[in-house]
Amino acid sequence: MYYKQLGCSGLKVSELGFGPWLTISKHLSIRKSTDIIHYAFDQGVNFFDNAERYAEGMAESVLGHVFKTLPREDLVVTTKIFWGGDGVNRTGLSRKHLIEGTKNSLHRLQLEYVDVLFCHRPDPSTPIEEIVVTMDMLIKQGYAFYWGTSEWPVELIIDACEMAKRLGCIGPIIEQAEYNIFVRERVEQEYATLYERYRMGVTVFSPLASGLLTGKYRQGMADEFRLTHQKRLWTNDFEQRLSVANTFADLAKSVGVKPAQLALAWCLQKPYVSSVIMGASSHDQLNENLKAVELKERVDASVFAQIDALYPSSELEKIN
């Protein structure tokens, strides 16, 4: 495993992180979850991502049991606050919900602090000053070491950075965004200013495009339920994406690797990516994903260039 600086901080995180969004929840026992997390940790994974929303808090509770069996100093634990429940003040980034949501998450995680606390989505109803001051307070009171944003537009992140400077507060160090060959413009284009001016980094999720880049969606290989789900996600261009995914699978085969490994390696070789969040429900699946760390060093740059050309965004097309 290799480790990178998390944004502009001194914190080091494994290039592949582990997230429980679709893998660890009420559907997996604590025993099974413990086994998977311990195995990932033994393979060098130290970055474990979470959110108050995942499985209505169950994901945090399950990982909380696991974390009690591991050395805290060797873990980088994150969680995200925004969706805390159905109550009118249990959603968003108000000072009230940021503080109460963080305390609730820490209770479920059985931790005194998290390493990074994310604002899970932008909240137009809460002034940016309130968010920045509250995140600064949470860090200074020991609930977190750093804070970041997730899926925020670049203008709002810049506002937060500049507001923190003016007020003498601790600003965000990292953004967490979706990133794969189908979703690229925000990470590659929009956030360029953040990398250059503020030395921020990005952790990315959904590197396999909800499974589309695993090769399982080739004709006859995917069950009807999952295909229907994907068609709902990408109503406008599902067939195009499926065609690209098939071409991507052929490219992976020509290189002698599995599509999922190549998709992860493509994300990992981007210099602005601090860590790629993956999921796994078995040792075999985890082992296959972990091979992407070495793969990114072995794959010729021309292969990654071919991947870049498979599905360029409109802005990328203009540039090229």
Helix 128-140 vs helix 95-109: crossing angle, to nearest 10: 40
Report whether 98 contacts 64 (CB < 8 A).
Answer: no
Given the residues 2, 3, 39, 54, the one annotated as active site:
54
- Cβ(203)–Cβ(288) below 8 Å: no
Rounded CA separation 62/30 (Å):
6
Whose CA is closest to 217, among 257, 259, 268, 280?
A: 259
Q: In 10 A of CB 235, how many CB atoms? A: 7
Q: Which helix (H) or strand (E) holds 48?
A: strand 47-48
Nearest to 144 by CA among 155, 132, 136: 136
List Cβ neighbours of 207 (8 Å cut-off, separation of 6 or more): 179, 180, 213, 263, 264, 267, 276, 277, 278
Angle, CA 178 vertex, CA 93 and CA 291 arms, to 5°: 130
Burial (0-12, 13-18, 19+ Cβ within 10 Å), 140: exposed
| Contact call for residues 34 and 66 (beta carbons, < 8 A) | yes
List the one residue out of 62, 57, 63 whose CA is nearest residue 17.
63
Tell me whether residue 54 is one of the annotated catalytic residues: yes
Amino acid letter, 258? K
N- to C-terminal Cα separation, the chain: 34
Which residue numbers are catalytic? 54
